[in-house]
């Protein structure tokens, strides 16, 4: 009998040991995978600002890149084709010996408007998918859409979505004005482009070395084409941000022209 | 019409063309609000080139008026003012400005007060902008506007950028006395945000470095080096900038105590110096991190003044130098051959870039060297009115045109065939382009063949064949040597003619301006002809010859 009791006690100890090992193993597993679990949980309850940032940032960046290579327009209408890019004329004359006529006097506004128009569809799509995402997680979602503004500012491009979002799931959270800030020198480059156009209208060309002497991180190139179109390429040497545009001013014909 | 009159007629015609071209009487008759196929706005063009239909911006039909754009209301040029941004753009048509939402003004940009540029000072940054733009920039940066309308140039504006005097701002943080190298204003801001008890500990020490031992902070000397404002600076152990890197001062306590100038500066940018961090962009150096594949290792730290100079085709160029090149084969450079083009080369930031001058040699590259520093520029080739010049003095007026005078033959002739081109000694000559222009023979624009034809010449040689035994027909069949013996005028036009071989009648009366030999005459004529443009027998820019044509043909006629 006593032998039986001793065996029973031994079995209990073994079970306790096994349970202890299982608890420790579970603890180790939780410890090892906790960050992933945490991030999964966080993804599920992602902050709306982060959601919009992740959804829209690439579209804005791509649009800025395209616009920068095409003289400030997503779909240039009057352009010069140079190295696979259609580059918008910002100043042009079809005549010889004449100064160019400005085609885009408000470049910065135009770029802002182009970016805004290009991201319109994606904006609607991103906000809709955010709404659906929260609804699928049991939130009551009240979203009021508003206008979008794009601002070119020194060293950045700021996109503001004037949307209002109210999330209710027990508590109520309210979010307004979603901002996406892109580090980019488009404002500076477009301002230099304006200055160059100013020179083009007066003298038919701008001295590129002057700009490089003033702004040490700036590279300015002027590539004269066979029809006397000048392609200007402005590059920030630090981050490779680029802006290029075309101009035709005080053109000279081959030989003489009447 | 005899040949002389014909030549005179051609000359007058071509001179007229050149003259007309320069008063730019361009034969377009319409001002198109917009060109076809979403083309340019406000261009003078033929009616068929104007777009038709509805302008989506105005909902009215695109306009087209048979007059120049300057005479219309919609395409009149003026200044477009962007009242939101504060920018102004000259030479803008009214319709384009309105379309973009700007305010169009008929006045010139320099006459509009709101378009005048000045210096916008924002902390240690500046911008050369209008007052409105300055307001916008400063409000975005949360600063108070500081606009200097009296500063009239961008260079002056950039030079006026000054930062507040900095010093050591000592304060307590996490029970430690620490320090930041900032201005007194910024230090006061720290003081304002700390609690009352800690405020007493915030002190500003003007001109001192955080590494100064007497400040007794946790920031010590020798915390490495870093690039700040394009120069190499010593850093303290808290990450604050100290003085400019000078390896000889690494263990000099005084150099780590107060703000001072380095003594190591070679005043040439200290390019690739292992010991000195006083870089200078205009001397051709800038602070960069040490790269063992490119630079020498600095004695201390990992930053140095790297050289911005360039090497091109084995030759060294200084940062900022520009020089000329053309695309002709070596040896043919500068000959203005068909297909050749001038290029301006630039050395900036260690990189050589190429700026092509205008095609067809409408721009030439000129180069100047001062103290071994070369500066070049693409400038307009003013060749167009060379052939109109009858006086050598006018021809060589460098302020008016780029031409040269070739003595001995006049392109310009009166209706009787007499030379019009004369120098100060009344010797005939021709004014031709100094840099012969190119023509686009494949499109046939620019009157290339007509211009080249100006270089064609007829040389009438006179022979005395005699009454009884000689005849024109007999002489025509003789070889050139025999012909020379019968020659009495313009004998240099006969192949093989050399001084003294002709009949005394010619030699004794030969004008000084006549060439001494047939070859000399051919060379002179070739020089005139090839200078006019892509004319005559020339190799192209690659050195290849084209179709060589006879430069000499002869015809015997009886003297009229």
DSSP state of A99: P
Chain B residues close to A198, C-beta within 8 Å: 89-90, 109
Q: What is the pLDDT of residue B297?
A: 93
Task: Please tell me the predicted confidence (pLDDT) of residue A193.
Answer: 97
Q: What letter does residue A250 receive in the DSSP assignment?
A: S
Interface test with B, best of A194, A231, A254 (most B CBs within 10 A): A254
With a cut of 70, say whether residue B49 has pLDDT above it: yes
The answer to which of A123-132, B189-198, B325-334, B446-455 has the lowest mean pLDDT is: B189-198
Select from B100, B138, B341 the residue whose CB has the most chain A CBs within 10 Å, as the one to mutate to test that interface: B100
pLDDT tens per residue, range B141-157: 888 888 999 998 988 89
* pLDDT of res. B20: 43
What pLDDT score was predicted for residue A181? 96
Helix (H, G, I), strand (E, B) or coil at B217: coil
Residues 71-100 of B with CB under 8 A from A: 77, 80, 82, 84-85, 87, 89-93, 96-97, 100
Distance CA B1, CA B17 (A): 22
Contacts of B320 in chain A (CB under 8 A): 209, 213
- Name chain A contacts of B351, Cβ cutoff 8 Å: 219
Distance in angstroms (rounded) separating the CA atoms of residues B446 and B444: 7
**Record: contact A254-B438, CB cut-off 8 A:** yes
The single residue listed with the structure tokens 């003789």 is: B478
Residues A255, B447: C-beta atoms closer than 8 Å: yes
The whole-number average pLDDT for the span B223-229 is 95
The helix/strand/coil state of B212 is coil
Average pLDDT, chain B: 87
What pLDDT, on the 0 to 100 scale, is given for residue A107? 96
A213 touches chain B (CB under 8 A): yes
| Minimum distance, in Å, between the CA of residue A180 and any CA atom of chain B | 16
Partner-chain contact B91 A100, CB within 8 Å = yes
A-proximal residues of B, 417-456, CB under 8 Å: 437-440, 443, 445-448, 451
**What digits encode the pLDDT tens for the residues B314-364?**
999 999 999 999 888 877 778 889 999 999 999 999 999 999 999 999 999
**Has residue B94 got a pLDDT over 80?**
yes
CB contact under 8 A, B448 and A254: yes
Shortest distance between the Cα of B448 and any Cα of chain A, in A, equals 6
Average pLDDT over residues A185-192: 96
Highest mean pLDDT among A60-64, B55-59, B183-187, B512-516: A60-64
- The answer for residues whose C-beta is within 8 angstroms of residue B316's C-beta and 6 or more apart is B309, B310
- What is the side-by-side order of every strand in the sheet holding B125-129? B125-129, B118-122, B147-148
pLDDT tops 50 at residue B124: yes
For the segment B470-487, what is each residue's pLDDT rounded down to a tens digit? Answer: 677 777 788 777 778 888
A240 in B contact zone (CB under 8 Å): no
Residue B105's pLDDT band, with cuts at 50, 70 and 90, is very high
Share above pLDDT 90 across residues of chain A, in percent, rounded to a whole number: 79
For B384, the closest chain A residue by CA position comes to A256
**A86 has a chain B CB within 8 A of its CB:** no
How confident is the model at residue B43, as a pLDDT?
A: 96
Residue pair A238/A222 in contact by the 8 Å Cβ criterion: no
Q: Give the ipTM of the model, two decimals please.
A: 0.85
Count of other CB atoms within 10 angstroms of residue A84? 6
Residue B114 near residue A119 (C-beta atoms within 8 A): no
Q: What is the pLDDT of residue B17?
A: 45
Rounded to the nearest integer, the mean pLDDT of chain A is 90
B7-29 tens-digit pLDDT: 444 444 444 444 444 444 445 47
Record: contact B40-A153, CB cut-off 8 A = no
Minimum mean pLDDT range among A36-50, B122-136, B236-250, B513-527: A36-50
Distance from CA of B98 to the nearest CA of A (A): 10
- A116 touching chain B per CB within 8 A: no
Element (H, E) at B262: none
Q: Find the mean pLDDT for residues B37-56.
A: 92
Quote the pLDDT of residue B198: 62
Rounded Cα distance between B300 and B222, Å, is: 9
* pLDDT for residue B199 is more than 70: no
pLDDT for res A38: 45
Contacts (Cβ under 8 Å, ≥6 apart) of B476: B556
B351-370 core/surface letters (b: 16 or more CB in 10 A; e: else): eebebbbbbbbbbbbeeeee
DSSP state of B391: B
Structure token digits, residue A216 = 């040490």
Which pLDDT value is given to residue B22?
41
For residues A102 and B28, the model is more confident at A102
Query: Under an 8 A CB cutoff, do B89 and A154 touch?
Result: no
State the smallest CA–CA distance between residue B188 and chain A in angstroms. Answer: 27
R_g (Cα) of chain B, nearest Å: 37
pLDDT in tens, B276-286: 999 999 999 99
> Which residues lie closer than 8 Å to B175 by C-beta, 6 or more apart?
none
* Nearest residue in A to B351, CA atom: A219
Average pLDDT over residues A212-229: 95
- Kindly report, residue by residue over B429-454, the tens digit of the pLDDT: 999 999 999 998 888 778 888 899 88
B70 in contact with A, Cβ within 8 Å: no
**Set of chain B residues whose Cβ sits within 8 Å of the Cβ of A89:** 40
Q: Mind telling me how many Å the CA of B391 is from chain A's nearest CA? A: 22
Q: Does A153 touch chain B (CB under 8 A)?
A: yes
With a CB-CB cutoff of 8 Å, which residues 38-67 of chain B face chain A?
38-45
Contact B44 A95 (CB under 8 A): yes
Contact A224 B440 (CB under 8 A): no
**CB contacts, 8 Å: B51 with chain A:** none
**According to the model, what pLDDT value does residue A18 have?**
84
- In this prediction, residue B71 has a pLDDT band, given cuts at 50, 70 and 90, of very high
pLDDT at A32: 64
Task: State the average pLDDT over residues B282-307.
Answer: 93
Number of A–B residue contacts, CB under 8 Å: 174
% chain B with pLDDT above 70:
91
Above pLDDT 90, what percent of chain B? 54
Mark yes or no for CB contact B102/A106 under 8 Å. Answer: yes
* CB contact at 8 A, A202 and A100: no
What is the reported pLDDT for B8? 47
Option in B82, B356, B437 nearest A255 (CB): B437
């Amino acid at each position: 009998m006593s032998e039986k009791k001793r065996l029973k006690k031994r079995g209990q100890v073994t079970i306790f040991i096994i349970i202890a090992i299982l608890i420790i193993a579970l603890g180790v597993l939780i410890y090892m995978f906790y960050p992933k679990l945490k991030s999964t949980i966080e993804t599920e309850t992602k902050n709306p600002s982060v959601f919009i940032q992740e959804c829209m940032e690439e579209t804005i960046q791509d649009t800025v890149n395209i616009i920068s290579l095409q003289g400030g327009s997503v779909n240039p209408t009057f352009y010069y084709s140079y190295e696979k890019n259609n580059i918008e004329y910002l100043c042009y004359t079809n005549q010889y010996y004449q100064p160019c006529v400005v085609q885009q006097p408000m470049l910065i506004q135009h770029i802002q408007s182009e970016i805004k128009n290009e991201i319109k569809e994606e904006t609607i799509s991103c906000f809709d998918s955010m709404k659906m995402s929260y609804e699928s997680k049991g939130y009551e979602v009240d979203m009021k859409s508003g206008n979008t503004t794009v601002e070119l500012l020194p060293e950045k491009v700021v996109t503001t979505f004037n949307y209002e979002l109210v999330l209710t799931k027990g508590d109520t959270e309210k979010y307004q004005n979603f901002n996406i800030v892109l580090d980019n020198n488009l404002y500076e480059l477009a301002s230099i482009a304006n200055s160059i156009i100013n020179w083009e209208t007066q003298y038919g060309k701008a001295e590129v070395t002057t700009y490089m002497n003033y702004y040490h991180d700036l590279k300015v190139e002027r590539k004269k084409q066979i029809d006397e179109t000048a392609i200007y390429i402005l590059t920030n040497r630090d981050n490779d941000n680029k802006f290029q545009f075309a101009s035709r001013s005080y053109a000279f014909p081959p030989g003489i022209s009447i | 019409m005899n040949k002389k009159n014909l030549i005179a007629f051609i000359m007058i015609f071509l001179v007229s063309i050149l003259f007309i071209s320069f008063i730019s009487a361009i034969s377009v008759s319409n001002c198109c609000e917009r060109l076809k196929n979403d083309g340019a706005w406000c261009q003078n063009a033929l009616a068929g080139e104007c777009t038709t239909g509805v302008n989506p911006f105005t909902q009215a039909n695109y306009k087209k008026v048979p007059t120049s754009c300057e005479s219309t209301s919609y395409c009149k040029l003026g200044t477009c003012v962007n009242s939101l941004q504060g920018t102004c753009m000259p030479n803008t048509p009214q319709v384009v400005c309105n379309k973009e939402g700007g305010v169009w003004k008929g006045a010139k940009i320099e006459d509009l007060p709101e378009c005048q540029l000045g210096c916008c000072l924002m902390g240690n940054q500046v911008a050369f902008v209008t007052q409105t733009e300055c307001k916008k920039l400063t409000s975005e940066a949360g600063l108070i506007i500081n606009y200097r309308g009296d500063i009239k140039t961008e260079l002056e504006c950039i030079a006026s950028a000054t930062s507040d005097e900095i010093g050591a701002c000592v304060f307590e943080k996490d029970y430690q006395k620490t320090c930041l190298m900032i201005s007194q204003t910024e230090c006061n801001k720290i003081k304002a945000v700390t609690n009352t008890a800690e405020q007493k500990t915030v002190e500003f020490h003007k001109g001192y470095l955080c590494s100064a031992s007497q400040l007794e902070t946790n920031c010590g000397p020798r915390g490495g080096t870093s690039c700040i404002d394009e120069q190499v600076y010593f850093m303290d152990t808290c990450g604050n900038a100290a003085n400019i890197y000078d390896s000889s001062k690494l263990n000099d306590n005084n150099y780590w105590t107060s703000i001072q100038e380095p003594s190591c500066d070679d005043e040439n940018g200290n390019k690739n110096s292992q010991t000195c961090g006083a870089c200078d962009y205009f001397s051709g150096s800038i602070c960069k991190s040490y790269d063992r594949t490119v630079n020498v290792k600095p004695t201390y730290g990992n930053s140095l003044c790297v050289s911005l100079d360039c090497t091109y085709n084995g030759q060294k160029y200084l940062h900022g130098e520009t020089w000329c090149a053309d695309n002709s084969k070596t040896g043919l450079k500068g000959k203005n051959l068909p297909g050749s083009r001038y290029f301006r080369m630039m050395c900036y930031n260690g990189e050589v870039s190429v700026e092509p001058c205008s095609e067809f040699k409408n721009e030439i590259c000129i180069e100047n060297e001062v103290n071994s520093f070369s500066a070049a520029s693409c400038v307009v080739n003013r060749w167009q009115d060379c052939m109109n010049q009858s006086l050598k003095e006018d021809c060589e007026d460098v302020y008016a045109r780029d031409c040269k005078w070739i003595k001995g033959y006049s392109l310009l002739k009166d209706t009787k065939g007499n030379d019009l081109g004369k120098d100060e000694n009344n010797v005939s000559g021709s004014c031709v382009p100094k840099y012969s222009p190119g023509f686009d023979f494949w499109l046939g624009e620019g009157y290339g063949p007509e211009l080249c034809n100006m270089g064609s010449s007829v040389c009438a040689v006179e022979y005395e064949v005699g009454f009884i035994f000689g005849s024109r027909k007999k002489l025509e069949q003789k070889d050139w040597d025999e012909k020379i013996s019968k020659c009495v005028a313009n004998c240099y036009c006969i192949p093989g003619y050399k001084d003294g071989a002709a009949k005394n009648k010619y030699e004794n009366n030969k004008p000084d301006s006549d060439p001494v030999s047939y070859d000399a005459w051919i060379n002179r004529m070739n020089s005139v002809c090839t200078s006019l443009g892509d004319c005559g027998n020339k190799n192209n820019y690659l050195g290849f010859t084209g179709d060589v044509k006879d430069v000499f043909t002869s015809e015997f006629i009886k003297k009229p």
